[in-house]
Chain A
Amino acid sequence: GAVVSQHPSRVICKSGTSVKIECRSLDFQATTMFWYRQFPKQSLMLMATSNEGSKATYEQGVEKDKFLINHASLTLSTLTVTSAHPEDSSFYICSARDLGGGVQETQYFGPGTRLLVL
């Protein structure tokens, strides 16, 4: 099946610094990628939809100036958490839609990035 990778898998940073997370679709092109955040024992919360070549669409309550999204190519989207604070500590997961050729459309998830802000 299709593969989505994320880097880094785990990051620890100091409060006030910025952290960039990369999401890549390895064997398919993804015009749309999604960024989710998951707190412990909670479900995935959609943060934003990343569109190749255009601005991301943010969900209500998500600060676009704090969570910068860039979808530079059909296989890469990045999420930058700017001026991170301890409350931003969470599991960030990206997802990409594979539209190519199959009977079923499937949304594949990356392995996630665990962010800890001290």
Chain B
Amino acid sequence: GQNIDQPTEMTATEGAIVQINCTYQTSGFNGLFWYQQHAGEAPTFLSYNVLDGLEEKGRFSSFLSRSKGYSYLLLKELQMKDSASYLCAVRANTGGFKTIFGAGTRLFVKA
């Protein structure tokens, strides 16, 4: 089966940098996604990593280490609107591709 772990909650200050970690265990690994979800809304895509290394996209960066089963999402220059849940999701090919989500990390950005 698959197992995805990420912290339940984090708090950070506006303008600062925050790193949200995700560890996973799966067979047939085929990529890792990060999504942002505001309360009552559907998730929106942030990043996709399938190879080791860092992917940078504006204020958001995502890192993957497949050998360690580890990823992080880095948010720079935090804004109040970044307060949301951040979902780590792993896609695996286990006789068919499917994407399983972690429980999500609720980020609170304070002034």
Which of the segments A12-20, A61-69, A71-79, A99-107 contacts the partner chain?
A: A99-107
Residues of B within 8 A of A44 (CB): 43, 87, 101
**Contact of A109 with B44 in the complex, beta carbons under 8 Å:** yes
- CA distance in complex: A109, B101 (Å): 13
- CA distance in complex: A32, B96 (Å): 10
* Chain A min CB distance to B79 (Å): 21
Looking at chain B's contact residues, the main secondary structure is strand
Total cross-chain contacts (CB, 8 A)? 46
- CA distance in complex: A49, B96 (Å): 9
**Contact of B42 with A111 in the complex, beta carbons under 8 Å:** yes
Interface size on A, residues (CB 8 A): 23
**Contact of B100 with A46 in the complex, beta carbons under 8 Å:** yes
**Contact of B102 with A43 in the complex, beta carbons under 8 Å:** yes
- CA distance in complex: A53, B99 (Å): 21
Of B33, B43, B98, chain A has the most CB atoms within 10 Å of the CB of B43
- CA distance in complex: A75, B35 (Å): 23
Answer whether residue B31 sits at the interface, using C-beta atoms and an 8 A cutoff: yes
Q: Which chain A residue shows the least CB distance to B85?
A: A43
Residues of A within 8 A of B103 (CB): 42-43
**Contact of A106 with B48 in the complex, beta carbons under 8 Å:** yes
**Contact of B102 with A108 in the complex, beta carbons under 8 Å:** no
